[in-house]
Amino acid sequence: TVMFSGQAVTLIINGKPTTLSADKVVERLKQMPAAMLAKAEVMPAAPAKYHVRGMAINIVTKDFMGTDQLSSQLTGGWRQHKYGTGYASGSIVYNHGKLGIDASYMFTDGTGYGQVEHEANHPLNGQRVPYNDKTRNRSDGIDHEYRIGMDYAISEDHRISLAYTGQWNSTRSTNTTTGTAQSAQHSRQHTYLHNADASYSAPFGLHLGVSYTNYQEPRTQNLDGTLNDISRNLSVNSHQKVSKWLFTADQSHALPKGWELNYGGKAQFTNNNSYQTTLNDIGLPLSDATSHVDYDERIVNGYVGLNKHFGKSLSLDASVTAEQYHATKWNEWRIYPQFNAMWNINAQNMINLSFSSEAVYPSYWSTMSSIYYASAYSEIWGNPDLKPMSKYDINLMWQLNRISSFTAFAMLEPDYF
C-alpha cells in the first residue's frame, strides 16, 4: 500500500483506467522492467480524465515506437519470516517499428503465518465475564500470475493497445484458537482471475477504453470448536463470482490563451453472483449463515474540466463529475468536484492546494445477509443495507528545499459506514 501524509494513493499506469484491483496494478508494476519506466506524475487530486479520485501516481512508461528494442528481466527471491516463501518472475519487452509486445509471468510458492489475540470483559446479567484467546493462522499456497500486452502505433498520437492479465491461486489455511475458546478451522480456496483491457487514442484528443474482469473464488471450510457449554461443528461452502465491465470516453481540446478543456464519462456494469451455505454437525443448513445474492450494479458518470499553466510557476486544474449509482436497493445521483493548484515558488520550494471528492464502496462479501463463524467466539455479520459513502479531502502542502513536506489536511465523510 502506498501512503502519503496518512492518505492512500492510487497507482495507475499510462493514465489508462482498468477494472483490475489496486493490488494487481502494484504487481504489474513490480514485474515491469526498469528500462520501461520514464517518470512518475504525483497528483494530490487526480483529474477526472483518469477516472480515479483522490491522490494518485501515474506511472508513465517510455515510448519505444519506431525503434527496434528487445529487453528482458528475470527476478527470483526468498522471503523468510516464521516460514518461507519463494518466488520467480520473468518479463520481456519487444518493439519493432510500430508494434510493441510485452509479456510477464510470476510464480510464488510458500507458507504464510499470522496471529491475533482477543481480550474482553463482557457484561452479562449484571456481572462481567472475562474472555481471552489467541488465534494462529498458517496458510500454504501457490500462485501463478501472467500477462501479455500489445501496442500498435497507426501514426503519431494514433494508437491502439490490448492486454490480457490472468491469475490462478490455490491456498490451504488453518486457524487454531486457544484460550477461553478452543477451535480449529480448516479451509481451502482457489482464485481465478481473467482481465482484458483495450484502449484507442486518436490524434484529435479522443481516448476510448474498455476493460473487463471476471473474478471467481470458491472456498470450503470446516470449523470444530467449543466455548464454555457451546459447541460449533460447521462446514461452509461458498463461491464468489464477480463480473465487471468498464467503458470510458474522454475528449480534450486546446483553447485560446493556453487553456485546455476536458470532458467525458464512464459506464461501469457489475454482476455479483455469490453464495454461502453453512451446515451443522448433522448436515442441516443454518438459515442465518446461508445466503445467495445475484444482483447487478451500475455506475454512470459524466465530467467536464479545465486546466491551464501560467508560465512555469503556477498550474490550475479543476473538474466536476455527476455520477449515478444504481444497485438493488439504491439509486442515487451525487456530485464530485475536484480542484488542484500548484505554485512553484522557486527551484527548491513548492506549495500545493488540492480538493478532491469520491465515493467509497463496501466490499461485496460485507453486503451478504448472512453470518460467518470465524471461530467458536468470533462472528462476522453481513449487512445488505450498506451503501456507498461520500468522502471529501482538502490538502495544503508546502515542500521545503525539496526535502521536507509540511501538510495540513481535513477529511469529511458525511455518510460514513
Overall average pLDDT of the 78-83 stretch: 94
pLDDT above 90: percentage of residues in the chain:
64
pLDDT at 19: 82
- Low-confidence winner among 4-18, 218-232, 394-408 (lowest mean pLDDT): 4-18
- pTM equals 0.88
347 vs 98, which has greater pLDDT? 98
pLDDT at 412: 93
**Three-state secondary structure readout of 54-123:** CCEEEEEECCCCCEEEEEEEEEEEEEECCCEEEEEEEEEEEEEECEEEEEEEEEEEEEEEEEEEEEEEEE
244 vs 73, which has greater pLDDT? 244
Quick one: which of 197, 207, 201 has its CA closest to 156? 201
- The pLDDT tens digits of the residues spanning 100-140 come to 999 999 999 999 999 999 999 999 999 999 999 999 999 99
- The pLDDT tens digits of the residues spanning 317-328 come to 999 999 999 988
- Whether the per-residue pLDDT at 6 is higher than 80: the answer is no
- Looking at the DSSP bridge assignments, the partners of residue 150 are 101, 162
pLDDT above 70: percentage of residues in the chain:
100
- Whether the per-residue pLDDT at 415 is higher than 90: the answer is no
Overall average pLDDT of the 209-214 stretch: 96
Q: What is the chain's alpha carbon radius of gyration, rounded to the nearest angstrom?
A: 25
Mean pLDDT of the chain: 91
pLDDT at 132: 95
Overall average pLDDT of the 303-330 stretch: 92
